[in-house]
Amino acid sequence: MITLISSDKRKFHVLEEVANQSLAIRDVIEDRCGRRRADRIIWVTNVNSRILEKVIVYWLRHVVVPKEITHASKAHKKAEKLKKWEAEFFDTDIDTLNDLILAADSLDIPCLFGGACEKVADILKNRSAEEVGEISKIEDEFTHEEEEEIRSENAWAFA
């Protein structure tokens, strides 16, 4: 059992197999191999409890579902079930998605990072620059001329 402590000091007890989905946590566990049981506490200082709880739910789903797949005919159904669950999981507000992306990046969880980024891309797709700016709350740092130059150099991205 591993104890994760969030930035707001909430404790989460998870199986090592579950926590190992984070490559960063896996490295910490491997570095501490053979040490006292008390060393199985890992501070996750840059993730708050609300997001860490969501990360753990994501991990649990990705540990349980693959174990359920024991027969080839069931594999497709289980994969579809997981895909549907992920769609619901990522169907959240942009701030939560941003926090999930930051958590997935800092904890090195590639599948969570990819899924959250894909959802943000879907949200931003087919939106004007003004709408994207409002959603992401990013101010334009470029002059009109600089922006035109970037658009012309990267026309493929704006097609």
Residue 76 sits in the same domain as residue 115: yes
Q: What is the CATH number of the domain that holds 60?
A: 3.30.710.10
* pLDDT one-digit tens code per residue, 99-154: 999 999 999 999 999 999 999 988 888 676 666 666 555 555 667 787 788 778 77
Residue 36 CB partners (closer than 8 Å, separation 6+): none
Residue 117 sits in the same domain as residue 143: no
Residue 143 sits in the same domain as residue 74: no
Q: Are 2 and 19 in contact (CB under 8 A)?
A: yes
* pLDDT one-digit tens code per residue, 20-35: 999 999 988 888 665 5
* pLDDT one-digit tens code per residue, 47-101: 999 999 999 999 999 886 555 555 556 667 778 888 899 999 999 999 999 999 9
Residue 105 sits in the same domain as residue 158: no
Q: Are 102 and 50 in contact (CB under 8 A)?
A: no
Q: Are 47 and 103 in contact (CB under 8 A)?
A: yes
Residue type, 92: T
Residue 57 sits in the same domain as residue 109: yes
The number of domains in the chain is 2
Domain limits at 133? 127-159
Residue 109 sits in the same domain as residue 33: yes
Please choose, from the candidates 59, 65, 103, the residue with its C-alpha nearest in 3D space to the C-alpha of residue 83: 65
- 43 pLDDT more than 80: yes
Q: Are 12 and 56 in contact (CB under 8 A)?
A: yes
Residue 83 sits in the same domain as residue 157: no
Residue 18 CB partners (closer than 8 Å, separation 6+): 56, 59, 60, 63
Residue 60 sits in the same domain as residue 97: yes
Q: In what order do the strands lie in the sheet with 41-43?
A: 11-14, 2-5, 41-43
